[in-house]
Structure 1
Amino acid sequence: MQQWAQDLPWRPGPQLFVLEDVTGAGKTEAAMTLVHRLLEHGQARGVYFGLPTMATSNAMYGRVADIYRRWFDEQQVPNLVLAHGARHLNTDFAHSVVSEQARDHAYGDGEQTASAACNQWFADSRKKALLADVGVGTVDQALMAVLPFKHQTLRLIGLANKVLVVDEVHACDDYMAGLLEAVLQAHAQQGGSAILLTATLPHSMKRNLVAAYQKGRGLAAEVVEEQPSFPLATRVTDQSLEQTPLATRDSVIRRVAVEMFSKPEAVIEHLLDTAESGQCGCWIRNTVDDAIWAYQALRERAPDPDKVVLFHSRFVMADRQTIEQAALERFGKTSTAETRAGWILISTQVVEQSLDLDFDQMISDLAPMDLLIQRAGRLHRHRRDGSGNPVDTDDQRPSPVLHLFTPPYESRPASDWLSAHLPGTGAVYRDHGQLWLTLRTLLDEGGIDMPGRARHLIESVFGEDAESWIPEGLQQRHLDQEGERSSRRAMAGFNRLKMDQGYITQASHGWMDDLHLDIGTRLNEEPSITVTLVRQDEDGALKPWVDAGPFSWERSQLQARESLARRLPEWPQPLAAQRDALVERFPGLKFSQLWLADAGVGEIAYSAVLGLHKKPR
């Protein structure tokens, strides 16, 4: 892929690239080569990298910071901006925070004074990220260019003359994919180039993205022939559409066998054996509650409970950063046999894409095929000897095996085939027909062969003909979810700006403030609420839960689904005046739910070990 990007015969004019290759094969480096060549030929003046999460954005920011100066002349001094909601918590970017200024009188609900608007403008670098020479952030910042947000025009102008690089494109759901198509069309109309990176992209999604770009260029949608080859590089210009099959590096060609567990006790036994043998392991659960249960069950039987670690999304930012850093040191690329031996990580989807971790053994709850491929990428990710130390030779550990925790396979399953065994998984991944197809395909294949069978694995579950194989008992659930997916795509079309109408009122359905980001760019089935944990000191003063270092209030926040956040106890009435004074002093807190977490009231608790959890009954 990288060699192809370097040697590709060049063509002038805007271009779209779609790079499909296995995880860890070097797609990002190939994209950076293409960026360099676009800049070198004067076809762009900058670049914006859009990632699916803040964690992946932070990782990309570090990689780009090491190389971006090479893309510009020595006389130029390009600027590099990190753009996401928690960018000021990234120590490498902390200097971007603007100091506070005096507040003045607010004139009415929904109105901003001059100082508040300017303060927000200068402190919020997300708006300006697309204007920077090089921007790195979440893909949301690009999607907002086609939504009726304030400063939408600024984002669209910022994308002009930029290369738009979107990583992990397959992570976009139907709603986000609809918005991304609109972005590609608008970007192409402005003469921009784009690069899309993916490891598990269904052909139907690729076809729609290519068609959107071609429409923006005023071209008739060209048929994108479905290719069995993988890896595959696609280039779209005003003159042609080219798909080039490529080889992949020998080091990333591998087979991961797949075996099944149907009882949680068997998984616990396997993890205990893993620790006793001096290996490290991970069990990826699909819900936080299931992860907490597994963590507690394993600790009760582990000879060394302190070597069992829990990681999920309901930790405050400070604790989450601590756990992430410890996981990278213990299971990361440079970890050794001494740091890894006997450690078990119980986690949720947070380790799926963001962190460069390597486990000797992995168990995963049943999930859609594309996510299982991502999870398997954390199994024997780096080459090690039999003890777990890094080596430059071939990996010397036994062949990797991904164990699935799943209901037993049934050729004619009932409608409750999944929910009766794994209700949490059934609630998170609601198309049980796709999960059944995933399990059937893996049983037929006996494992995951990458890259040789990558295309087959994905299309067997997400292909246009796949639904015909879903058994009758799961057809209704599948049809319900197909309807939901169609609704999401329709909602993307409803929310996005009607660019062809120009800047008139009828081009949108109302302008939104950036604080409603989750409403605009991500259509969650249940909204998330920011919860700020508060405690009282010995004198009764209100303090952030993590009262150490800069940004203590932000580091004391977590995201919780709305139904869970609503179960938190109400703020104590005797402390209402103190709360109001606190919000007056730190205005950003008014956009979160304050919780006096050390009061011990209610059915929900928080600890640095379990995160936000339900108290045992």
Structure 2
Amino acid sequence: MKEMIMTNDPNLKLWAKTGRGGDLYYHPLLYHMLDVAAVATHMWELLSEDQRKRIGYTLGNEARAITLFLAGGHDIGKASPGFQQQVPQLSELTDLQVSVNDQNRPHGFVSACVLNRFFTTVLGQIAGGHHGIFPRSLDLRMGRDILGNREWEIARNGLLQELAKVLKIDISDDTKCKPKIIDPFIIPLLAGLISVADWIGSNQDFFPCLTKPGQLPELVGDKYFEVAKDRADKALHELGWMPGVIFAKEAPFTHVFSGFIPNSLQNSIEDIAIKQTSPYLMIIEAPTGQGKTEAALYAADLALCRGFARGIYIAMPTQATSNAMFKRVQVDYLKNRRHKGKLNLQLVHGNALLAGMGEVREGEISDFKIADTDTGDTNTDMEAQSWFTAKKRPLLSPFGVGTIDQSLLSVLQTRHWFVRLFGLAGKVVIFDEIHAYDAYMITILERLLQWLAEIDCTVILLSATLPEARRKALIYAYSGQNSSENKCYPRITLAQSRHYINQETNELIVCKEVSVEDSHCIYLNFSRNDLEILAGELTRKLEHGGCAAVICDTVDRSIEVFRYLQANMHETECLLFHARTLQVWRREREDEVLRKFGKGTKQHDGSYTNPDRPFRAVLVATQVIEQSLDLDFDLMFSEIAPVDLLLQRIGRLHRHSRTRPEGLEMPQFTILCDGNRGGAPPDTFGKNIEHIYDRYILLRTWLVVRGKAMIEVPAETEKLIEKVYGTDEEICGPDWIEALEKAKRNLVHEQEESQKAASRLLICPPCDSEDIVRQFNCELFDDDDPEVHTAIRAATREGDPSIMLVMVNAGAVLAAEPALDEVRDLLGHSTMLSYKGLYHELASNCETPKGWEKNTHLNHARLMRLDENNRAKIGGYILTVNEKLGIVIEKESKDNG
């Protein structure tokens, strides 16, 4: 850019950003304001028509110009003596008076104070909250020591008038924009748009600092704005947001999924979804293997094509299920559908960077630096980086697949909670396996459903098994209506958003029973949870071959079972699959499990063959295989678990039609439990099992299943669920009544405490905008940071906290500041470890290398060095890292120490 010697233009004498490196370069404040307004210009066009209209209902005919002005004016607080004095060489450029008594308050708070003169308090606070925290009324009381003298006020007015002139908006006193902001929708939409526009407009790869002290750029006003808009266009193309997606025309199910013949469930969902013209909640309850995912994607596709949705986010319960779903959406849906524009499908979870081991993927900025000097540290920079690297960016992309955690964080009082809601606004949000959520997560989910309805999201909930009370609570959270509809399982329930009523049916809630084609019997067996007995049963039943699964409730037990079976079943291939292993091995094992025990290829007769399926094998696994993974076993053993999870596990037994080995033609499910099938309640189901699952639910499950010889699925599914989770108690003897009453008291107390714990973390429900800003009064901190106290931790799941460990050999040489490939390698050698008694030892005794502190993927990780035997000692424990076993944790003793 052409430069000229210093001029007297006061609008170019104040700085906003400084460059990286040794030489001092800066970016004038006016330029930065125009940069962010330019980014907002393009982002406004990426909003849906309905979103722009809804902003217009509040802000009036000049809604677009006001939005761009708020985005551009968000940093006007930097035109204050406290901020400008942070770099003495630059503060000397202006003749404005400064003093040693000047205070440097957060510039966003100063911006809110200044913008209040032109807009309502809430609009000023929205713009001033771009660093993640809304200033409150108390924060806006400012005097001359913060704002400076009259000359500073004139300088700020000059900058805002120049911005207004470029944006063609009149901000003179007689045309102040003072609407009453009562629509809660405005908060996440405007606050999210402004924050993201600021992050992009601050990135020096797109908007470089080119000015040296003593010199000023030549371009001003409209001329510079044209340059800024070109740079913004390039930035949004590079981020994968432009060109915006143009969705294909409506098509029947058979076209959306080419060559896919829909079953009765999918036909029913097509019939219901095709009648919808506005956002809604749909709950799909059906057995595993019925194609709920394809049905949900079809309903989502209709919403996209009809214009009341602008993207899709799929929230899965685990990283493993997210990885599998990502591939299904990519291959089965997007590649066939042929929407136009940047489809930009992204994966979001803590280790999403590992999903692509090659080049940086579209939309991922590996080194997103803004070099903001106003806070004196790198927190602002880190926050921006985290939104443009693998962990969070899918929330802002048109299509995203990831864990539920990032969506639940949308309603926790964290920095930039509103950015997450902004990313989800107007999308179809699909939640899978919702029966797996406990009382803590359900409390957060219900608040999220309230907000998703408010921001015009279509929500689809998928579950194989869902208690009636929970279904009604979820419907109420989204629609505000009590449901009296209750058709037989399997079923589809649809509820309209509180803001819309279907004009064709005029019904708020409808429920439809659907049929399934393959109702079948599962034969139940029972056995003591004894390793010798288990090995004997497996050997006998696999005599003629077959693939069996043994599902354990804890990682330690799965390792113990695997070791025993491997040592005693020499003619059987044994595999172990759990989450407590290094990420690189977990991915490899997940791929191996899917390859060997997946459905394979469909034949002309409707059956499946899999050339990689072992002749005789046993997979020992934890709960990682009970959700969303398309696996098929000939035989299954499972430790006792709540009935809904037992049914989930059963869903992986004889899942697809195929030729079965002799003796395994009928599905056999063996429950491992030491309880007496006809006598008193067990004293314990196992200390570790009751640490994971509530004793009351286990007791009711055992009481219901222990006398059964078979289960007809899905005919008995709902009956079993309601017998365990419903209000009607089973008829039983005094000893059982006493045990159940004691366990229920404990359960009720624990659930109440869980609900209270979750409620303390939540943002308020949709309400008056001033209340939303005022009630945001608790800044929670990153759940990944092991040093954060539990009282202020933004935890989306209850239980023992986890810590990210990177485990390398003692002699490994680590780069001071790892490049992207090195980061991937380090993440591959990491694990999230949650183990009672070890967490604080690891947090205290394992350090975060200094070079990792500025990396969004590693800044909360701890480094552990392993000896020549791949072991480490810490806090009275020995950790052994083994490719087959994962991470084995044992208490240190004289024998092994």
Q: When the two structures are superposed, what TM-score results if normalisation uses the length of structure 2?
A: 0.61
2:449 is paired with a residue whose SS is: helix
Distance 1:75 1:28, change over 3 A: closer
Is residue 343 from structure 1 mapped to residue 617 from structure 2 by the alignment? yes
Equivalent positions of 1:112-127 (< 5 A) are: 112=378, 115-124=381-390, 126=392
1:609 is paired with a residue whose SS is: coil
Query: Size of the alignment, in residue pairs?
Result: 587
Residue 536 of structure 2 corresponds to: 269
Is residue 560 from structure 1 mapped to residue 829 from structure 2 by the alignment? no
Moved more, 598-607 or 168-177: 598-607
Equivalent pair of 2:433/2:628 in contact (CA under 8 Å): no
Distance in 2, matches of 1:594 and 1:92, equals 22
2:469 is paired with a residue whose SS is: helix
Residue 473 of structure 1 corresponds to: 739
2:493 is paired with a residue whose SS is: strand
1:247-285, CA deviations, whole angstroms, 9 ceiling, x for partnerless residues?
Answer: 1123xx211111100151211111222444322211111
Which residue among 507, 510, 513 is the counterpart of 2:779? Answer: 510
Is residue 235 from structure 1 mapped to residue 494 from structure 2 by the alignment? yes
Residue 248 of structure 1 corresponds to: 516
Residue 353 of structure 2 corresponds to: 88
Equivalent pair of 1:536/1:542 in contact (CA under 8 Å): no
Deviation of 1:6 (Å): 1.9
Deviation of 1:74 (Å): 5.2
Equivalent pair of 2:269/2:492 in contact (CA under 8 Å): no
Deviation of 1:117 (Å): 4.3
Residue 4 of structure 1 corresponds to: 268
2:706 is paired with a residue whose SS is: helix
Which residue among 279, 284, 296 is the counterpart of 1:14? Answer: 279
Residue 223 of structure 1 corresponds to: 483
Residue 447 of structure 2 corresponds to: 182
Distance 1:99 1:226, change over 3 A: closer
Moved more, 457-466 or 266-275: 266-275
Moved more, 62-71 or 432-441: 62-71
Letter in 2 for 1:271: L
Is residue 134 from structure 1 mapped to residue 406 from structure 2 by the alignment? no
Distance 1:604 1:498, change over 3 A: same
Residue 413 of structure 1 corresponds to: 680
Deviation of 1:387 (Å): 4.1
Letter in 2 for 1:65: Q
Consecutive unaligned residues of structure 2, counting only runs of 5 or more, are: 1-264, 601-608
Equivalent positions of 1:139-218 (< 5 A) are: 139-215=404-480
Is residue 529 from structure 1 mapped to residue 830 from structure 2 by the alignment? no
Deviation of 1:527 (Å): 0.9
1:1-35, CA deviations, whole angstroms, 9 ceiling, x for partnerless residues?
Answer: 21112223614333211111110101111112211
Equivalent positions of 1:308-457 (< 5 A) are: 308-334=574-600, 336=610, 339-387=613-661, 397-409=664-676, 413=680, 417-419=683-685, 422-429=686-693, 431-457=694-720
Distance 1:569 1:256, change over 3 A: same
Is residue 98 from structure 1 mapped to residue 365 from structure 2 by the alignment? yes
Letter in 1 for 2:560: W
Distance 1:364 1:64, change over 3 A: same
Equivalent pair of 1:413/1:474 in contact (CA under 8 Å): no
Is residue 485 from structure 1 mapped to residue 748 from structure 2 by the alignment? no
Deviation of 1:445 (Å): 3.7
Equivalent positions of 1:295-306 (< 5 A) are: 295-304=562-571
Equivalent pair of 1:50/1:165 in contact (CA under 8 Å): yes
Distance in 1, matches of 2:486 and 2:346, equals 38
Distance 1:107 1:41, change over 3 A: closer
1:527 is paired with a residue whose SS is: coil
1:30-62, CA deviations, whole angstroms, 9 ceiling, x for partnerless residues?
Answer: 112211222232222222111111221122222
Which residue among 813, 828, 839 is the counterpart of 1:541? Answer: 813
Distance in 1, matches of 2:417 and 2:840, equals 36
Distance 1:426 1:299, change over 3 A: same
Distance 1:72 1:150, change over 3 A: farther
1:408 is paired with a residue whose SS is: coil
1:218-251, CA deviations, whole angstroms, 9 ceiling, x for partnerless residues?
Answer: xxx2333443x1110111123421111111123x
Deviation of 1:477 (Å): 2.5
Larger Rg: 2
Residue identity over aligned pairs, in percent, reads: 28
Which residue among 49, 60, 84 is the counterpart of 2:314? Answer: 49
Distance in 2, matches of 1:69 and 1:361, equals 35
Distance in 1, matches of 2:410 and 2:537, equals 49
Equivalent pair of 2:565/2:574 in contact (CA under 8 Å): yes
Distance in 2, matches of 1:445 and 1:585, equals 58
Higher RCO (CA-CA < 8 Å; seq separation 6+): 1
Equivalent positions of 1:66-85 (< 5 A) are: 66=331, 68-69=333-334, 75-85=340-350
Distance 1:230 1:116, change over 3 A: closer
Which residue among 604, 612, 615 is the counterpart of 2:887? Answer: 612
Letter in 1 for 2:883: A
Equivalent pair of 2:415/2:779 in contact (CA under 8 Å): no
Distance in 1, matches of 2:417 and 2:844, equals 36
1:45 is paired with a residue whose SS is: coil
1:552 is paired with a residue whose SS is: helix
Residue 148 of structure 2 corresponds to: none
Distance 1:354 1:535, change over 3 A: farther
Letter in 2 for 1:54: Q
Distance in 2, matches of 1:11 and 1:541, equals 58
1:32 is paired with a residue whose SS is: helix
Equivalent pair of 2:558/2:576 in contact (CA under 8 Å): yes
Equivalent positions of 1:574-613 (< 5 A) are: 580=849, 583=852, 588-598=857-867, 600-602=871-873, 603-613=878-888
Distance 1:399 1:74, change over 3 A: closer
1:84-110, CA deviations, whole angstroms, 9 ceiling, x for partnerless residues?
Answer: 11111113895154333779798889x
Residue 391 of structure 1 corresponds to: none
Deviation of 1:315 (Å): 0.7
Moved more, 17-26 or 77-86: 77-86
Letter in 2 for 1:332: G
Distance in 2, matches of 1:28 and 1:322, equals 24
Which residue among 283, 286, 299 is the counterpart of 2:550? Answer: 283
Equivalent pair of 2:653/2:667 in contact (CA under 8 Å): yes
Distance in 2, matches of 1:586 and 1:108, equals 18
Equivalent pair of 1:50/1:164 in contact (CA under 8 Å): yes
1:243 is paired with a residue whose SS is: strand
Distance in 1, matches of 2:850 and 2:339, equals 51
Equivalent pair of 2:352/2:390 in contact (CA under 8 Å): no
Distance 1:55 1:588, change over 3 A: closer
1:273 is paired with a residue whose SS is: helix
Distance 1:452 1:113, change over 3 A: closer
Equivalent pair of 1:310/1:345 in contact (CA under 8 Å): yes
Deviation of 1:187 (Å): 1.6
Distance in 1, matches of 2:595 and 2:335, equals 30
Deviation of 1:550 (Å): 6.8
Letter in 1 for 2:776: A
1:379 is paired with a residue whose SS is: coil
